[in-house]
Amino acid sequence: MITLVFATIIDGDTMQKNKLVSPVVKWVGGKRQLLGEIIPLIPKSFSSYAEPFLGGGAVLFALQPNKAIINDLNSDLITMYKVIKEHPDELIADLGTHINSQPYFYSLRDIDRDKEAYSLLSDVKKASRLIYLNKTCYNGLFRVNSAGEFNTPFGHYKNPNIVNEPVIRAVSNYFNKAQITFFSQDFAKVLDTLKKGCFVYLDPPYDPVSDTASFTGYNKGGFDRDEQLRLKECCDFLTKRNIKFMLSNSATEYIKDIYCDYNITFVKATRAVNSDGAKRGAVDEVIIRNYDTE
């Protein structure tokens, strides 16, 4: 049974929301826990939506806009979303073949060590592998090394929800009802294409809160302060073009300084990416906007 909840006005149309449309995978820095702070700050109406750092897509799935551009540099993640849209039945069937065991996990995880063998996998197999590893790896942490190889260990969960059929079907239905454009490219290329009236939500890899902290391992190459500054310059250009944006990041002095001319809201988030459990917990984050709350 599909449950419909609140609606958002986008380009004059009322878009009903299905609560089953929600993240398929857990992602570092996922925004599901902060939706209560993020959603009230989003403009009440806009002609289209863009999310250049999609990740798990919590904000996209909460809003469910009927016209959106979504992007992530992780091409396997975008492939997964395309498969969910185009081949949900095949994906669900393949997910049902996986085994929750340590030997099986490592045999599937290590396929990407052989680039040629990995390239021969169908898109359905790649999407199924990503979801399986995400559901069964330690802490649901998607992380790759400098060679782009998935390197998170087995999670030892007794009964992981590998085949979440209702959510996969709901997301597939949403993708097929809405006008969704998928990209896997540099964020600046996506931002350059946007038109006035679009609303942009930016959730980049965060500026590290310490010398040893990092949230950049979801894609090889990382996201250093040169990239943070390049993103800020893109935000300035969005502002000049009268395009509204919202950006999430850690509340470091560096981020607060470079965005000091924008509206900054402080929020608390619980993050569990530290290997030391004692160092996990609530941390300060910022929500940055180039517009006033309506």
CB 225: neighbour CB atoms within 10 A? 13
Higher pLDDT, 219 or 113: 113
Name the average pLDDT for the chain.
90
pLDDT on residue 10 = 52
Between 119-123, 190-194, 196-200, 269-273, the lowest mean confidence (pLDDT) is in: 269-273
pLDDT on residue 282 = 81
Residue 148's pLDDT band (boundaries 50, 70, 90)?
A: confident
pLDDT on residue 180 = 98
Average pLDDT on 56-62 reads 97
pLDDT on residue 280 = 56
Q: Which of 235, 206, 229, 204 is nearest to 53 (CA)?
A: 204
Q: Where are the domains of the chain?
A: 4-82+168-289, 87-165
Q: 4-82+168-289 with 87-165: one CATH topology?
A: no
Residue 147's pLDDT band (boundaries 50, 70, 90)?
A: confident
Pairing of strands 244-250, 281-289: antiparallel
| Percentage of residues of the chain with pLDDT beyond 90 | 79
pLDDT on residue 219 = 54
d(CA 192, CA 195): 9
Type of residue at 26:
K
Read off the pLDDT of residues 158-181 as tens digits, 9 standing for 90 and up: 999 999 999 999 999 999 999 999
Between 96-105, 127-136, 269-278, the lowest mean confidence (pLDDT) is in: 269-278
Q: Which of 281, 145, 260 is nearest to 209 (CA)?
A: 281
CB 111 within 8 A of CB 118: yes
Between 135-149, 218-232, 236-250, the lowest mean confidence (pLDDT) is in: 218-232
As a 3-state breakdown, the chain gives helix, strand, coil percent values, each rounded to 5, of: 40, 20, 40
**Homologous superfamily of domain range 87-165:** Adenine-specific Methyltransferase, Domain 2 (1.10.1020.10)
Q: Which of 203, 227, 223 is nearest to 214 (CA)?
A: 223
Two structure tokens written together for 197? 């009236």
Average pLDDT on 78-87 reads 98
pLDDT on residue 86 = 98
Higher pLDDT, 214 or 95: 95
Read off the pLDDT of residues 3-56 as tens digits, 9 standing for 90 and up: 334 445 455 444 579 999 999 999 988 899 999 999 999 999 999 999 999 999
- Give the CATH number of domain 4-82+168-289: 3.40.50.150
d(CA 202, CA 187): 9
Average pLDDT on 62-67 reads 97
Residue 138 per-residue DSSP state: G
Q: Match 């939506």 to its residue by tokens.
A: 49
Ramachandran bin of 83, using left for φ above 0, alpha for ψ from -120 to 50, beta for the remaining angles = alpha
d(CA 222, CA 113): 20
d(CA 182, CA 248): 21
Read off the pLDDT of residues 179-232 as tens digits, 9 standing for 90 and up: 999 999 999 999 999 999 999 999 999 999 876 555 445 555 578 999 999 999
